[in-house]
Amino acid sequence: PIDYRGIIALKTVIDLQHFEKAAQKLNITQSAVTQRIKTLEKSFGEPLLIRSLPYKATKLGEVLLNHQRRVEFLEGSLYEKVEIERLKAKFSIAINHDALETWLMETIVGIPAFQTFHLEVITEDQELTLDLLENARVLACISTNHKRMSGCDSAFLGEFEYVLVCSSQFKEKYFKNDRSLKDNLLDSPYLSFNYKDQLNQIYMARMFNCELNADNTHIIPSVKGFREMTLAGFGWALIPRIDIVDCLADGRLIILESTKTWRMPLYWHYWQLPDRKYQRLNQLFIEKAQKRLHLK
């Protein structure tokens, strides 16, 4: 193999016209500079440096120096290409639909550094996003799971509040005053985002210690559609408070039980990669999201 340390020592001596200055620049001893050039000459079997001032390369030495210049040019081009590719790198995030269509995009737009990446947002149930990170499908995710994976960091972002709501027309049609809220909920239709959505089931188990009838639901895989179907009286639903502030204020939707809101903890998980730009971007996102979610 070519001894590039020897070629660099040769080039530095010729450039600076001084062995001691060459040693200082290379951060080695003067004898080490001499030894590197001698070792290089030994490997090629002939002198490479004319050892009288001004120092010059021999014919073969000049061939090696020209080769070194091409190597340096190629390295510069390589680093430039790497930087270009870095700028084109894809930043994949796994999140749930509610976060995407309520607070997440406003947070991302507020961080100009995201524009240096090609952003890819993958939507999945909040209980499953961590699987995508573990399988290296994404670089970061939002999850309700606080457990930190090996090779990853995590940060608590805040709590996402869901409220139990329906339209006044729906309540008049399905809810009987002589029955408990639990029984009324069990016997009336409700809305689910998709078949993976377990929020309603988890909510009922935690708040009322019961299980919903899975056949008594409307599947609406759209955050906007979910809200509109609730407004139209198709069923009761758990909806992020942040998404229905106006609807609650003007009475189009009513909260069925104000003491039984669901506060979902959200965590940002991301790989421990050495890239400073990636690490900085994660920290910026965490800070912005915590403010957006009113972390206390």
- Supply 12's token pair: 């530095």
> Tens of pLDDT along the chain (296 residues)?
788 899 999 999 998 999 999 999 999 999 999 999 999 999 999 999 998 888 989 999 888 988 887 887 677 777 766 666 655 567 889 998 888 888 888 899 889 888 877 888 988 887 788 888 888 788 899 998 888 888 889 999 998 889 999 999 999 999 988 889 999 999 999 999 888 788 899 899 999 999 988 889 999 988 889 999 999 999 999 998 888 999 999 999 999 988 888 888 999 999 888 778 888 889 999 999 998 886 44
Given this model, what pLDDT does residue 141 score? Answer: 93
Domains, the chain? 4-87 (1.10.10.10), 90-159+266-292 (3.40.190.10), 161-263 (3.40.190.10)
Given this model, what pLDDT does residue 248 score? Answer: 93
Given this model, what pLDDT does residue 36 score? Answer: 92
The pTM is what? Answer: 0.62
Sequence-distant (6+) residues with CB within 8 A of 191 are 217, 218, 220, 226, 229, 230, 234, 235, 236, 237
Give yes or no for a contact between 128 and 196, defined as CB atoms under 8 angstroms apart.
yes
Given this model, what pLDDT does residue 127 score? Answer: 75
- Type and span of the H or E element at 40: helix 30-44
Q: Residue type at 22? A: A
What is the DSSP secondary structure assignment for residue 185, as one 8-state letter? H
Question: Which SS3 state, helix, strand or coil, does residue 144 take?
Answer: coil
Give dist(CA 92, CA 114) in Å, integer: 11
Given this model, what pLDDT does residue 295 score? Answer: 47
Give dist(CA 3, CA 104) in Å, integer: 53
Give dist(CA 123, CA 98) in Å, integer: 9
Sequence-distant (6+) residues with CB within 8 A of 107 are 285, 288, 289, 292
Given this model, what pLDDT does residue 229 score? Answer: 94
Sequence-distant (6+) residues with CB within 8 A of 56 are 14, 49, 50
Q: Phi and psi for 90 in degrees, rounded to 5? A: -90, 130
Give dist(CA 255, CA 53) in Å, integer: 91
Maximum separation of any 2 CA atoms in the chain, in Å: 109
Given this model, what pLDDT does residue 29 score? Answer: 92
Give yes or no for a contact between 236 and 188, defined as CB atoms under 8 angstroms apart.
yes
Please identify which residue in the block is written with the tokens 């979902």.
264
Give yes or no for a contact between 123 and 97, defined as CB atoms under 8 angstroms apart.
yes
Given this model, what pLDDT does residue 88 score? Answer: 59
Give yes or no for a contact between 202 and 174, defined as CB atoms under 8 angstroms apart.
no
Give dist(CA 153, CA 59) in Å, integer: 56
